[in-house]
């Protein structure tokens, strides 16, 4: 990581970060490498897979133009400090197993809760 950062000029280090692998070709190569590594025993494959993922993420993150930045621009209207006791964000998270064949009572209940949740009523609480 230090060597990677040292490869950039001070101006590049102060510029926005952009994602280089826009076509997804490097990700496809990474996936092929990981598929080959997964043929090894789990004990031998874990660290090379972690290294391959880290190298992909690191080498595809480069300094670039602000128009292509992967960051976000803060909304000046949020949060609204005029009424500090008013909720402004509510997180709703539904977790259920990804296997659609799972018919356990817990999973069925979670799916039902997700499908019938009244998001409009929740949004009204934030107004």
Integer Cα distance of 105 and 103 in angstroms: 6
Query: Looking at per-residue confidence, does 46 or 72 come out higher?
Result: 46
pLDDT(77) > 90: no
**CA-based nearest residue to 15, from 70, 55, 57, 73:** 70
Identify the sign of the CA torsion 94, 71, 48, 35. Answer: positive
Quickly state the pLDDT bin for 92 (edges 50, 70, 90).
confident
User: pTM for the complete prediction?
Assistant: 0.47
**CA-based nearest residue to 26, from 50, 2, 60:** 60
pLDDT(43) > 90: no
pLDDT in tens, 46-63: 899 999 998 898 888 888
pLDDT (0 to 100) of residue 98: 65
Q: SS in 3 state form for the chain?
A: CHHHHHCCCHHHHCCCEEECCCCCHHHHHHHHHHHHHCCCCHHHHHHHHHHHHHHHHHHCEEECCHHHCCCCCCCCCCCCCCCCCCCCCCCCCCCCCCCCCCCCHHHHHHHHHHHHCCHHHHHHHHC
pLDDT in tens, 4-32: 888 888 888 888 888 888 899 999 999 99
């Amino acid at each position: 990581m230090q060597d990677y950062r040292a490869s950039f000029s001070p101006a590049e280090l102060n510029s926005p970060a952009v994602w280089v692998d826009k076509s997804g070709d490097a990700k496809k190569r990474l996936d092929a490498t990981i598929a080959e590594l997964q043929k090894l025993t789990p004990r031998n494959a874990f660290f090379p897979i972690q290294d391959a993922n880290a190298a992909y993420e690191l080498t595809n993150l480069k300094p670039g133009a602000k128009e292509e930045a992967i960051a976000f621009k803060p909304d000046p209207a949020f949060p609204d400090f005029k009424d500090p006791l008013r909720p402004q964000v509510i997180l709703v998270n539904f977790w259920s197993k990804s296997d659609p064949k799972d018919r356990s009572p817990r999973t069925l209940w979670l799916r039902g809760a997700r499908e019938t949740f009244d998001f409009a009523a929740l949004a009204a609480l934030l107004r």
